[in-house]
Chain A
Amino acid sequence: MSARNPIKDATAFAGAGRSPYSRDRGSTTELTMVLEACTEAIRDAGLSAADIDGVVGAGLLTGGIDPAVVISSLGLPSVGWWLKTVPPIVNHIVAAMNAVWSGACDTALVYHSAYRLGGNSRTAAADPFRSRAALGLADGRAQTGDGHSESEPWGMFGSVGYAAWAGRYLSEYRLPREQLGLVAINDRSNARANENAVMREPLTMADYLAARMIREPLCLLDMDVPIDGADAFVVTTAERARDLTQRPVLIHAATMGITAHPEEYLAADLDSTGQSVVARDLRAKSDLWTGDMDVFLPYDGFSIVALRCFESYGLCGPGEAGDYLTQHWDKEENRVLINGRVPVNPHGGSLSEGGSQGAGHVREAITQLRGDAGARQVPDAKVALLTPGGFFFNAQGLVLRTD
């Protein structure tokens, strides 16, 4: 690891755009959504095609749209740096900030798209075009290149691995499922104030406990909501961002983390995961920490990931996150307010706004730090801590701030 952070506050988000999240955008295409988000982001920054000289992006389930296709579709006349990468979103952001900072480009367009497929959505399974969207993609572990699928019809990969570790967490600390449910309820309560969230019906603990069990102990409400939608961001130097239209959101620190044997079934324990590496490294790089944050955006693609964030980031001890949430629970609003002040995923997170590999969390942080969050605005928000990604292959962390 490195505690060095010479890029601190040197790059910034200058624009943001979105193609609205939906549980079913029907006949749209993934490229249509990416272009909607990208054009909105570039215009939001007050820029035009000729200003974009770097492009980085991709989505998860289909692999997403190649930068060359985005460059062609938007007619970007002179691009000097581009990269296709894999979500979560901090992969994209780290690439963009380093490219800008090193001089590979001046202004990078960053995009991410989510496009439902048959594997995670019943309505998508009935759509013949969506089944073609992932034609030829191998299942599970085979995607990582070692060809191993230990069990048929499915191994302990991805969501199944999170379910297995959630089970071990609850078993080890002798905790009830209600502790996971607190994460889902907090998100849903927050989604009430976010018109872009796809799940806004109030949720009670009884609703949570009655939800359909999918991968025990994780039920339907412990797993992010599959959506169609896209986000895009414009990253440039902090100096240039200060000359543009929007209040710059500075990238203070960013990290990624992985351990020697990150496979879900091989992870040594929950105290030695990519998430632990990120928490340690981000703390070393950042001048701002949990006591400084005005908004906390722990990743919640699975409820257990967010729950563990409170422990990995030192807000409480191992096994104590559920008690921590209960202690900081605002009964009136039926959500968490840390020390009565700091909301947790005020946009509803992946569990209620919709699953977008952390792109929604970044969008919310930018919205809050610009002061544009309307009914859910945290007063005078200046610092946001984000933890996109999970435990194993894709843990990430991000500290954003304003001047």
Chain B
Amino acid sequence: MSADVNFGGDVSDETILERYPAIRLDRLNKHHYGGYLSHRLVVGRCADCGRWHTPLRPRCPECWADAVVPTPVSGRGAVHLLTLLHQGPPSARVTYSPPWPLAAVELVEQTGLRFVATIVDCPSDRVRIGLPVELTWITRDGAPWPAFRPSSEAAHVGA
């Protein structure tokens, strides 16, 4: 990867390590998780070929250039894969009742560019494959995490 890019202000390594204690952080994925703290969904983008990728890799998976720049996405996309968890790992934050949605969202930046998160602000019977969504943020153990909600644009057109 190219030289460290400080996209999120002055977030120190210590802060990222402290705020995401359950994540196996390293010097690459810290850019992704560090982005959460300033509400940016940071993925990889190649400065040479311009292609995007998730999860963040040290080298462009398309052209192999050592020119990956951690870059925020717009957060707009559509539900590509969806499951509703009726049970799951014990969690103080998730009851699984109603079932907890987990979606792979295909982001508008590029075909096949996807990110996984839960869906919020949406009744269970409205969550479906194809639903236009936008990025929002939820709090887990005092730290921000990305989530998606039905896009406000779609709401206007009644989708």
Which residues in A have some Cβ–Cβ distance to B below 8 Å? 119, 138-139, 142, 146-156, 160-161, 163-165, 167-168, 171, 212-218, 260-261, 263-266, 268
Nearest Cβ on chain A to B114's Cβ, whole angstroms: 5
- Interchain pairs with CB closer than 8 A, number: 107
Tell me the B14-58 residues at the A interface (CB within 8 Å).
22-26, 28-29, 32, 54-57
Within the assembled complex, what's the spacing in Å between the Cα atoms of A348 and B75?
Answer: 45
Within the assembled complex, what's the spacing in Å between the Cα atoms of A218 and B81?
Answer: 14
Whether A152 contacts B145 by the Cβ 8 Å rule is yes
Q: A150-B116, A154-B88 are in contact. List 18 more A-B contacts (CB 8 A).
A: A139-B89, A142-B24, A148-B29, A152-B91, A153-B88, A153-B93, A154-B85, A155-B102, A156-B81, A160-B85, A164-B81, A165-B81, A168-B82, A168-B129, A215-B84, A216-B83, A216-B86, A265-B104
Most buried by B among A119, A150, A160, A171: A150
Whether A168 contacts B80 by the Cβ 8 Å rule is yes
Within the assembled complex, what's the spacing in Å between the Cα atoms of A119 and B88?
Answer: 9
Which residues in B have some Cβ–Cβ distance to A below 8 Å? 22-26, 28-29, 32, 54-57, 61, 80-91, 93-94, 99, 102, 104, 112, 114-118, 128-129, 140, 145-146
Whether B55 contacts A150 by the Cβ 8 Å rule is yes
A-B contact pairs, 5 of them (CB 8 A): A146-B29, A146-B55, A147-B26, A148-B55, A163-B83
Nearest Cβ on chain B to A369's Cβ, whole angstroms: 38
Within the assembled complex, what's the spacing in Å between the Cα atoms of A119 and B87?
Answer: 11
The 7 A-B pairs with the shortest beta carbon distances in the complex, nearest first, are A164-B81, A216-B84, A265-B104, A163-B83, A153-B91, A147-B24, A148-B55
Most buried by A among B25, B114, B117: B114
Within the assembled complex, what's the spacing in Å between the Cα atoms of A266 and B61?
Answer: 13
Whether A164 contacts B82 by the Cβ 8 Å rule is yes
Whether A265 contacts B116 by the Cβ 8 Å rule is yes
Within the assembled complex, what's the spacing in Å between the Cα atoms of A168 and B130?
Answer: 10
Whether A167 contacts B145 by the Cβ 8 Å rule is no
Within the assembled complex, what's the spacing in Å between the Cα atoms of A212 and B90?
Answer: 18
* A-side contacts of B23, CB under 8 Å: 147, 149
Within the assembled complex, what's the spacing in Å between the Cα atoms of A2 and B87?
Answer: 42
* A-side contacts of B118, CB under 8 Å: 151
Within the assembled complex, what's the spacing in Å between the Cα atoms of A248 and B159?
Answer: 62
Within the assembled complex, what's the spacing in Å between the Cα atoms of A354 and B88?
Answer: 21
Nearest Cβ on chain A to B20's Cβ, whole angstroms: 9
Whether A167 contacts B102 by the Cβ 8 Å rule is no
Within the assembled complex, what's the spacing in Å between the Cα atoms of A138 and B117?
Answer: 19
Nearest Cβ on chain B to A216's Cβ, whole angstroms: 4
Residue from A149, A164, A261 within 8 A of B83 (CB atoms): A164
Nearest Cβ on chain B to A171's Cβ, whole angstroms: 5
* B-side contacts of A161, CB under 8 Å: 81
Within the assembled complex, what's the spacing in Å between the Cα atoms of A259 and B153?
Answer: 35
* B-side contacts of A155, CB under 8 Å: 102, 116
Whether A156 contacts B116 by the Cβ 8 Å rule is yes
* A-side contacts of B22, CB under 8 Å: 149, 152
Nearest Cβ on chain A to B103's Cβ, whole angstroms: 8
Known: A147-B23, A212-B86. A156 touches B55 (CB 8 A): no
Within the assembled complex, what's the spacing in Å between the Cα atoms of A150 and B146?
Answer: 8
Residue from B87, B89, B102 within 8 A of A164 (CB atoms): B102
Within the assembled complex, what's the spacing in Å between the Cα atoms of A161 and B94?
Answer: 19
Whether A167 contacts B83 by the Cβ 8 Å rule is yes
* B-side contacts of A138, CB under 8 Å: 24
